Structure 1
Amino acid sequence: MPTVVTRLPGRASRQRGPLPLPHRTLSNLDVSVGNSEKRGLLYCRIVPPESGIAIHLFCVHLGLRAHQRQAQLTMLADWVNGLPAGEPVVVAGDFNDWRQQANRQLKAQAGLEEIFTRARGRPARTFPVSFPLLRLDRIYVKNAHASQPRALALKQWRHLSDHAPLSVEIHL
């Protein structure tokens, strides 16, 4: 059964089984643009004891305006590019990217690939959860492989969010 590693409103990181505290680092990175709305990225670095390989996780909830998202994506790309080369990176969350501009920017600036686009040619429909039409939520990877991407647009998820959750297996 997955265990919640940490949770902030609208963002969560999950893993299978417990992970001792010395093997994880948590940060909330401010990506607010201007004075309009506060936004943050949840960053988690975990080092599973059995592999010893650091894995970098980012959970995002980007701004509603295009200029905010562009600036936030640039900040995210800068953080990803500052990580040690070759270490796995997973970025997931609500990108509010209904025009589907984030894929190109994150690929060009940080080498991140969106897993649904890689597997199916375009991001998953996730909003609203009751009848998903918009492709707002994404999972990106770098230095890792992903399989079995699924959007869980099921009735049982409606109480958690107005977005359908995404699920994927990450292979290092």
Structure 2
Amino acid sequence: MKLRIATYNIHKGVSSLRGMPRVHALKQALASMESDIFFLQEVQGRHDKYAMRHADVWPEEAQHQFLAGDSHQAVYGMNAVYDHGHHGNALLSRFPVLSSINRDVSDHAFEARGILHCVVQAPKADLHCYVIHLGLFARSRRRQTEALIEAVQTSSPPDAPLVIAGDFNDWTNELSDSLRQHLGVTEVFDKDLSSRGFGAYMRMLAGRGPKMKPARTFPAALPWLRLDRIYVRGLEIESAQVLHGGLWAKLSDHAPIVASLALR
């Protein structure tokens, strides 16, 4: 089974500098990725102020429904709620979504965060998908990662293929080793080192070899920080790339990651 997936923090569908609506351009950009499953963060479920101010270009339906269109099924996990609207994570799937649950992992009152878990009926296997957006503070991220590990261990069989993707805000790359050790996952940009052999991979885990580094995805105009991730288990990584350049710099402050996978 071949599978193409993408993770993207869409910045609530507005440009990062002037706050201008980019939802229609985002929909075209997502279509150009030709991904079977999208893991999206900062999806605007409702925003009354933008809807009034930009009535001519702001979709009447929620962003996850608008972006999914007729080709994908949309599931939304509402995290942050305020007087004029709410936002959260979303999963768009070309395949049927069998079940979904949104787990609150907010660590304090100023950052509402969640883990959106969906079971997708992909060809030949059910795929467990976790959409993540971790906090801005290191201690919060560590506690949220512990909650993620516990959620995966209790909500998916140990041999089930899975994808964990999203905005981890982990620019110091402190969380990857814990996810690898407890969940047996591989980050899609681990491929170069892991291809050198099992010994090299184990030396890395033990801290005696070169450390794997995720891709740079932020800011989108000139990616420098390594914030976004795709971790997989039970899937072969065929390729992975960051999409950046003039178009992507106008849509969001993050650059998307697209990966081609195959079921083992």
State the TM-score, normalized to the length of structure 2: 0.58
* Residue 25 (structure 1) aligned with residue 93 (structure 2): no
Q: Which residue of 1 aligns with 2:129?
A: 57
One-letter code aligned to 1:108: Q
User: For 1:159 and 1:10, how far apart are their aligned partners in 2?
Assistant: 21
CA distance, structure 2, for counterparts of residue 119 and residue 29 of structure 1: 33
Identity of aligned residues (%): 36
The Cα of 1:38 is off from its aligned counterpart by: 0.7
Q: Does residue 247 of structure 2 align to residue 168 of structure 1?
A: no
Alignment-derived partner of residue 118 in structure 2: 44
CA contact (8 A) 2:239 2:261 kept: no
Question: For 1:45 and 1:91, how far apart are their aligned partners in 2?
Answer: 12
Aligned with 1:74 (options 123, 143, 146): 146
Structure (1/2) with the larger helix percentage: 2
Could you list the per-position Cα deviations for residues 1-26 of structure 1 after superposition, in whole angstroms to 9, with x for gaps in the alignment? 544432644644344x4x34xx5212
The residue aligned with 1:126 is 217
Q: Secondary structure at the match of 1:78?
A: helix
Offset of residue 36 of structure 1: 2.9
- CA deviation string 1:62-119 (max 9, x = no partner): 0011110001101111111121121111011100001110111111222222111333
- Aligned equivalents of 2:176 and 2:110: distance in 1? 25
Count of aligned residue pairs for this structure pair: 166
Q: Say if 1:4 and 1:13, in contact at 8 Å, map to a contact too.
A: no
Residue in 2 that maps onto 1:157: 248
Alignment-mate amino acid for residue 102 of structure 1 = L
State the 1:148 CA deviation.
1.0
Q: Any idea what the Cα deviations from partners look like across 1:116-148, whole Å, max 9, x if unmatched?
A: 133364100000000000000000011221221
- For the pair 1:6 / 2:74, whether they are aligned, the reply is yes
Q: Give the secondary-structure state (helix, strand or coil) at the position aligned to 1:54.
A: strand
1:112 partner letter: V
Which consecutive unaligned segments of at least 5 residues does structure 2 have?
1-33, 36-70, 77-86, 194-211
Indicate yes or no: 2:181 matched with 1:90.
no
RMSD (Å), alpha carbons: 2.0
CA distance in 1, matches of 2:230, 2:113: 18
The separation in 2 between residues aligned to 1:118 and 1:87, in whole angstroms, is 20
Q: Distance in 2 between matches of 1:14 and 1:68?
A: 27
CA separation of 1:44 and 1:160: change in aligned 2, threshold 3 A: farther
- 1:12-59 alpha-carbon deviations (Å, 9 max, x no partner): 4344x4x34xx52122111111333110112111123x42x2100111
For 2:213 and 2:135, how far apart are their aligned partners in 1? 21
